[in-house]
Amino acid sequence: MCQNCPQPQGFLAELIDNGLLIDTGVDGLYGRSGLFEEVVAQFDLLITRYGGKDGAEVARFPPAMSRHSFEKSGYLKSFPQLAGTVHSFDGDERAHAELLHNVAEGHDWTGGQKSTDVVLTPAACYVLYPVVAKRGPLKPDGALFDLQSYCFRHEPSKDPARMQLFRMREYVRFGTPEQVTEFRALWLDRGQEMMASLGVPLHVDVANDPFFGRAGRMLANNQRDQRLKFELLIPIESEEKPTACLSFNYHQDHFGTTWGIETSAGETAHTACVGFGMERVALALFKHHGYDVARWPAAVRNVLWP
């Protein structure tokens, strides 16, 4: 163990001491215990019990996407600070010797790394838009997808609910403005009902994404004014600043325009998604019901293990 590194404190330390999270030495990068994973898996099934009858097409992608698609998505305009890109060694033997020398000397060795065609997925739905665009115009009833992916965001933190690699389950709806706003309204209700059944304190509030820079502040204000993003918040690390565990996003025609996705009537498609933070929900359950799952309230156990 690193003697000079500050030891984890508070909820994070408790999670590590109780074996639920496994420290890797990097803030926001943890192993998960079998029990933690079981809670995540049961919550995953609970989501399916609520959303599975809607006929969503299930798709699972690895936690990375095409760099070309990522560049085109506009993510770097809005969130350059969060992006994670995959680079790899691409040199000759001399360059290799230099790399090893730099590692041994504790110098920066990453300069010789070249970007690959792969970047880390920042949100489960980013992979999907170019895929749907390629299929051509939507059917009259639009499209609905069920996704889950590990996502990367460069936001190292001591708050265990702010991870750098975490799983996001999503339902993503494509269609007319009416179709997608109806989908979001449905999930705003369902999400609250579902989370209330888990016996955790919660409330829903209008929210904004952490857009970068001064222009970003305008985007964030606009997002709030137009009520494009809602979050279902549960106190985890702090009572005063509850944590967003579910998000309900209406993108208007942003992705439809970016990717040229059309409705069956030839209009630009609108999109919306509901995102479930799998680790955050598990953390909320351990926070509010304790580390001994056998002693969780019977009502909550019955919902998770029906």
- What is the binding site for Zn ion (CB under 5 A)? 123, 125, 273
User: Which does residue 125 bind out of Zn ion, ligand AMP, none, counting CB within 5 to 8 angstroms by kind?
Assistant: Zn ion
Residue 163 contacts ligand AMP per CB under 6 A: yes
Residue 180 contacts ligand AMP per CB under 6 A: no
Query: How far apart are alpha carbons 41 and 6 in whole angstroms?
Result: 32
Nearer to Zn ion, 12 or 246 (CB): 246
* φ, ψ dihedrals at 17, nearest 5°: -60, -35
**128 close to 173: Cβ distance less than 8 angstroms:** no
Query: How far apart are alpha carbons 151 and 155 in whole angstroms?
Result: 12
Q: Which of 46, 120, 172, 245 binds ligand AMP (CB under 6 A)?
A: 245
3-class secondary structure, 262: strand
3-class secondary structure, 303: helix
Provide the residue count of the chain.
Answer: 306
Residue 275 contacts ligand AMP per CB under 6 A: yes
Residue 283 contacts ligand AMP per CB under 6 A: no
Q: Where are the beta strands (DSSP E) in the chain?
A: 21-26, 29-32, 57-60, 64-66, 85-89, 113-120, 143-152, 165-175, 203-206, 229-234, 243-252, 270-277
Query: How far apart are alpha carbons 157 and 69 in whole angstroms?
Result: 28
Residue 82 contacts ligand AMP per CB under 6 A: no
Q: Which of 39, 130, 153, 172 binds ligand AMP (CB under 6 A)?
A: 153
User: Which does residue 233 bind out of Zn ion, ligand AMP, none, counting CB within 5 to 8 angstroms by kind?
Assistant: none
Nearer to Zn ion, 123 or 283 (CB): 123
User: Which does residue 273 bind out of Zn ion, ligand AMP, none, counting CB within 5 to 8 angstroms by kind?
Assistant: Zn ion
Q: How far is the CB of 69 from Zn ion (least distance, A)?
A: 14
Residue 200 contacts ligand AMP per CB under 6 A: no
Residue 223 contacts ligand AMP per CB under 6 A: no
Nearer to Zn ion, 39 or 123 (CB): 123
User: Which does residue 194 bind out of Zn ion, ligand AMP, none, counting CB within 5 to 8 angstroms by kind?
Assistant: none
Residues 6+ apart with CB under 8 A from 76: 70, 83
Beta-bridge mates of residue 22? 31
Stretch that binds ligand AMP, among 11-19, 92-100, 196-204, 245-253 (CB under 6 A): 245-253
**90 close to 114: Cβ distance less than 8 angstroms:** yes
Q: How far is the CB of 170 from Zn ion (least distance, A)?
A: 5
Contact residues for ligand AMP (CB under 6 A)?
123, 153, 155, 161-163, 166, 168, 244-247, 275, 277, 279-280
